[in-house]
Amino acid sequence: MKPCQRNQKSCNRSGLNRRTFLGNVTAGTLAGSVLGCSSGDVEYDASLKAVFGTSERRQSSISQPTGLPGEYPGRVIEVAHAGSMADGKRDAIAIRAMIEEGMSRLVPDAETPVDAWRAFFEKGDRIGIKVVPVGKVPKAGASARYEGPMVDLKRPGSVSSHEVVHEVIRSLELAGIKRSDILVFDRYRDEFIQAGYRAMLPDGVHWECSSSRYDELQLEIDGQIRGESRQRNVAGYDRDVFRELAFCQPPGTHDSLDDRRFRSHLSKIITQKVDKVISIPVLKDHRSAGVTLALKNMSHGMVNNVARSHIFWGANPSGRGRTLNHCQTFIPAAVSLPQTRDKCVLQILDGLLGTYEGGPGSWNRTFATWEYKSLLFATDPVALDSVGWNILDHKRSQHGWPSVANMGTDAQPGATPQNPNGARSHSEVFHIRQPQHVPLASLLGLGVFEQKDIKHQVYTIG
């Protein structure tokens, strides 16, 4: 089947392309200025050393880039199927066809879908599947039960679709991977359970999470919450693998002598329990990061101490607090950890039910979803996020919303957040959203950002 293009205008992210993002500075200078290096022309490795520091013996060392952007830099395969979703329900048969088509198109030399999976995975590999439970829509009358699903399993919301997870597991089995070598995971145990993942997993497939639940401190290396009963299926974080950045939560949150507040440790799931990772992000906007797609699923979903990247602090007369947003820095820094770069070999973006405003979760008053009915496949997370960003901005424009890069409490007057009826939106809590993490990740060698260098092919199969 030949690729076709949707009836969709190409968005330029309101002028934010790599050229305008870079301006008149070199890539090395920009990486230094944004991430905290000294100014001046610097080479790639030198800039990374200055950004992340190598004086700390235990911090993961910076080496020549490996892994990301993977086997197919700049390649994004999108498969659309009109029958994949209706009235919030996913169709498993259509999704199977979409995944078979997408994998076969992503790996051009594959004669069958199984061959495509075998291009990435082989017998004996321990495979992690990273899901996104944030965006779940609680069913009517559901309480915040810790040990059971809060959602209608047939209509869970804007999350990694259960049917997609099932089909990925089935495909791995056909490629020769044992169920006992498959681990489905996320960061927080309670969210994972409440979104229904534990309940839907096939027998023999393992599950685990990095931490028991969200908490403001986020420094406990074992992933447990101090003072609470210990939870099972909690892996914790690797004491010896972390990224250190020179910002932390506000004074008074942590002990001022505790250097852990500057570190984000990588999950033991990544460092010890899996050999390769399949990431299943969801097509969503985000109030601080601008978009939450492949890159953010690997940063905030795999390290601890993430609250320091978007902080609510203080109060002003309107009732909205002063906010500190570091997502544009934090996300590429976390994803550039060598273990993450090496092990995250495949991205399948779930665009069946996207969130174009009010993401990432249904608690936001402007939370709005639509049935996009597509899955997108890539090894390059930056290219995938660049494409996803365009899709979201196009949908937003159809409903009268500014582009994600023009949202925030300090947005330009012409981009004042409003809902389609013209009423002022109070969902914005950060001065400005920061989708700039996507081009900055490209500067760190994690993938391709420029649209002219991305090969985005769309196949409609139903």
Sequence ranges of the domains in the chain:
13-460
DSSP symbol at 234:
B
Name the residue among 107, 93, 78 with its Cα closest to residue 6. Answer: 78
The pLDDT of residue 374 is above 90? yes
57-to-48, 53, 54, 238, 261 alpha-carbon distances in Å: 16, 10, 7, 14, 17
Q: Per residue in 226-267, pLDDT tens?
A: 889 999 999 999 999 999 876 666 555 656 656 666 788 999
157-to-195, 287, 352, 359, 370 alpha-carbon distances in Å: 9, 18, 10, 12, 10
40-to-27, 127, 381 alpha-carbon distances in Å: 10, 42, 28
**Which tokens in the block code for residue 312?**
């609510």
Whole-prediction pTM: 0.84
Are 214 and 361 spatial neighbours (Cβ–Cβ below 8 Å)? no
pLDDT band at 164 (very low <50, low <70, confident <90, very high): very high
pLDDT of residue 430: 74
The matching CATH number, chosen from 2.30.38.10, 3.40.50.11440, 3.40.50.10540, 3.30.450.260, for 13-460 is 3.40.50.11440
- Residues 446 and 128: their CA atoms lie apart, in Å, by 20
- Residues 430 and 410: their CA atoms lie apart, in Å, by 8
Q: Other C-beta atoms within 10 Å of 320: how many?
A: 15
Name the residue among 269, 440, 282, 454 with its Cα closest to residue 379. Answer: 454
> 415 has which bridge partners?
none
Are 449 and 27 spatial neighbours (Cβ–Cβ below 8 Å)? no
Sort strands 206-211 and 182-188 into parallel, antiparallel or unpaired. Answer: parallel
DSSP symbol at 343:
H
Q: Per residue in 423-447, pLDDT tens?
A: 445 567 777 788 999 999 999 999 9
pLDDT band at 135 (very low <50, low <70, confident <90, very high): confident
- Residues 208 and 212: their CA atoms lie apart, in Å, by 10
Burial class (CB in 10 A: 0-12, 13-18, 19+), 458: middle
pLDDT of residue 410: 72
